[in-house]
Structure formats: C-alpha cells, structure tokens
C-alpha cells in the first residue's frame, strides 16, 4: 500500500550549529509512528519540512504519494493538506477567540469540514464553546486541536509534542483517540514525542532522530519485545560483546549494562547473565549515549 507520508533524503541547513541531514522516513497506512529524540534533535524541523513550511536544500517530501514540498504548486498543496490534521504542543489559536469561534477560523479552510463531527468532539471532550482559548488548560487546548484535526476526515494526523505537559489521564485519552483513528487500517499517525512511555503502548514503529539525522527506524516490537538489557560484570560484558553483533554498552562503577537486539537468544547463550526486556527509553538512551561495541 502507498505510504501516507514519505521523506527521502531530506536535508536542510537551519543554523550554523544545526541541520537536518539526509532524513528518510515513511508512515504507512494503519500505523502509529513514534518520532522520538532529545529536545533540539530535529523532530519539529522534520515535521515542518514534511508539511512544506520550510524549503529543503535536498531531498523530497511525498504526501499520499504526491510530491508536496514548499515548492509544490498551490493546488497540490491545498489538496494534500486538506487530508492532514495537525496537533501542536501549544494551542495555536488566537487567545481572544472562544472555543466556538475556532470553528469559523479553521472550518472554512477545509472543503470536507463536518460541523456535526466538530460539535460532537467538543461535546465529548467537555469543551465549553463559550470559553476563551486563553482560558483553556494545556490538556483542553490539545483536545480542541484534536477536535479540529479530526473534523475534516483527515487521513494523516501529525502530532508534534502533543503529549508534553499533559497529565497521565489526558495522555491516556489522547492515545485512545489515536488508536481508534488508525483502527480502520487506512489512516495513520506521526506522533513526535520525547515521552517514550506513550509509544510503548501505542506505536507500531519508532523512529529516532538525533542531531538532525535518523538514528534508527524499527518496529516497536523489535525494541520492547526482542531487545534486552544484559546486566554484566566487566568480564561478562567483554565476552558478550565479543560474541553478539550490534551491542552497545553503558559502563557503571561495578557493572556494565549491555543492549542486545534479542534478549531471548542472549538468555539461552548466556544463562548466567540476567537480561531484561528493554523499554523504548532504555533503547533510546543506549543508542544515543551508549558506547558501540
């Protein structure tokens, strides 16, 4: 099936200290793709590139199979953007507007806007149409954005740090909405976050970016079900790293933690070494900071 979003070799110099370098990623239908990385790693810049908000030095962006960069013709951009919903970390609507007025701001832009759907979400999310945007909490602001993003029959949802600052209940609600959104197998979500526990539950793939380059792009099961952390002595770590390919180590005062790609194989081959499953957080830490074998 056709990818809903595809970035191929995208490069863009942002400042003297930061550039996107050869970023390649794809979002397939029916997937929630977690996009992780440290603050300033390039997540938002990649999303800006994907949405055609910045011009590229190299590479191309494809939305729903069609080229859609900042240089794409207006008509193409209009058509493709009408199928994308966006949720940002802060509520982007002018603060003097009321919740009910946001519809007249965003709705006219979408040919497929459904007033009843929007009213339904406002009602379901417990948003008061008379409340001003500046009076909304962070969670309510996110829900208002989500209501807008889901009211025009979007095929692709892009969430940029949308879960940052939300309480666990609000995060849970958001993840439930996202899982329902992709349930038909036709729609997808690109979820940028540095809260990796959200992705443990919802993501199908995890893509990590660091310093403007993609570090890994893996199915979530490869991290949370297959990968593991072996807790070794110095000697065990040396032996393990000599035998197993692609390991990474984090050295402590009296022990060494080793990231392995298949914890079951390690447990079979080295039964004396305790080996736990890795979380996305562990994996990220090892990949970004751990020493390569």
Partner 1 sequence: MKRAIMSELAIVRTLVPSIAGVGLFIFVVLTAVRASNGDSDMSAAGAFAISAMSPIMAMTSLAGLDNQNGWERYRATLPISRKDIVSARYLCITIFSVIMTCAAVLLSIVAIPILNSVGIPSTGETVFETAIASAISMLFSLMAVFLVLPLFFRFEHMKAQRLSVGLYALYMCLIMVTLNSFNPISNHLMSMIAGANPDPSVLGFLCAGIAALATVVLGAVSCAISTKVYWARNL
**Footprint of partner 1 (CB under 8 A):** 48, 51, 53-55, 70, 74, 77-82, 84, 86, 88, 90-97, 101, 104-106, 108-111, 133
Closer of 94 and 246 to partner 1 (Cβ): 94
- Cα separation, 210 vs 36, in Å, equals 9
Which residue, 44 or 224, has its beta carbon nearer to partner 1? 44
Q: Measure the CA–CA gap between 50 and 37, rounded to whole angstroms.
A: 17
Q: How far is CA 42 from the centre of its chain?
A: 12
In the block, residue with structure tokens 């447990």: 267
Find out whether 66 and 17 touch, Cβ atoms under 8 Å.
no
Q: How far is the CB of 174 from partner 1 (least distance, A)?
A: 18
Query: What crossing angle do the helices spanning 138-149 and 168-181 adopt, rounded to 10°?
Result: 10
The rounded distance, in Å, linking the Cα atoms of 205 and 29 is 12
CB of 63 to partner 1, least distance (A): 11
Token pair 């197993």: residue: 244
DSSP string, 7-32: EEEEEEE-SSS-EEEEEEEEE-TT-E
Query: Which lies closer to partner 1 via its Cβ, residue 90 or residue 197?
Result: 90
Q: Please, which residues have CB within 8 angstroms of residue 239's CB and are 6 or more apart in sequence?
A: 270
Cβ 166 to partner 1, closest distance in Å?
17
Interatomic CA distance for residues 115 and 103, integer angstroms: 8
Task: Provide the minimum distance between the beta carbon of 80 and partner 1 in the complex, in angstroms, as a whole number.
Answer: 8
Residue 97: CB minimum distance to partner 1, A: 6
Q: Which is nearer to partner 1, 80 or 237 (CB)?
A: 80
Task: Give how far Cα 81 sits from Cα of 41, 50, 116, 141, Å.
Answer: 25, 11, 21, 22
The nearest distance, CB 195 to partner 1, in angstroms, is 20
Q: Residue 77 or 163: which CB sits closer to partner 1?
A: 77
Write out the H or E segment, with its range, that includes residue 173: helix 168-181
Closest to partner 1 by CB, 74 vs 245, is 74
Nearer to partner 1, 150 or 260 (CB): 150
Q: Is 160 helix (H, G, I), strand (E, B) or coil?
A: strand
Q: Shortest Cβ distance from residue 250 to partner 1 (Å)?
A: 37
């Amino acid at each position: 099936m056709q990818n809903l979003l595809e970035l191929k070799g995208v490069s863009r110099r942002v400042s003297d200290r930061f550039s996107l370098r050869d970023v390649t990623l794809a979002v397939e239908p029916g997937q929630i793709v977690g996009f992780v990385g440290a603050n300033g790693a390039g997540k938002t810049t990649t999303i800006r590139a994907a949405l055609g908000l910045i011009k590229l030095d190299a590479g191309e962006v494809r939305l729903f199979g069609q080229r859609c960069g900042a240089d794409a013709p207006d008509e193409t951009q209009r058509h493709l953007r009408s199928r994308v919903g966006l949720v940002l970390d802060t509520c982007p609507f002018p603060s003097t507007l009321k919740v009910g007025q946001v519809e007249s701001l965003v709705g006219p832009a979408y040919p497929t806007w459904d007033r009843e759907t929007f009213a339904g979400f406002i009602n379901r999310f417990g948003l008061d149409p008379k409340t001003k945007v500046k009076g909304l909490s962070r969670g309510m602001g996110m829900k208002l954005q989500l209501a807008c993003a889901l009211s025009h029959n979007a095929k692709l949802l892009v969430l940029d740090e949308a879960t940052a600052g939300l309480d666990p209940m609000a995060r849970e609600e958001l993840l439930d909405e996202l899982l329902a959104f992709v349930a038909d197998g036709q729609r997808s979500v690109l979820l940028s976050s540095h809260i990796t526990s959200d992705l443990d539950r919802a993501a199908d793939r995890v893509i990590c970016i660091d310093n403007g380059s993609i570090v890994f792009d893996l199915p979530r099961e490869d991290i949370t079900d297959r990968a593991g952390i072996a807790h070794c002595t110095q000697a065990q770590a040396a032996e393990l790293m000599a035998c197993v390919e692609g390991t990474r180590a984090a050295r402590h005062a009296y022990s060494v933690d080793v990231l392995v790609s298949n914890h079951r194989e390690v447990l079979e081959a080295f039964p004396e070494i305790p080996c736990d499953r890795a979380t996305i957080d562990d994996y990220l830490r090892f990949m970004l900071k751990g020493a390569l074998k």
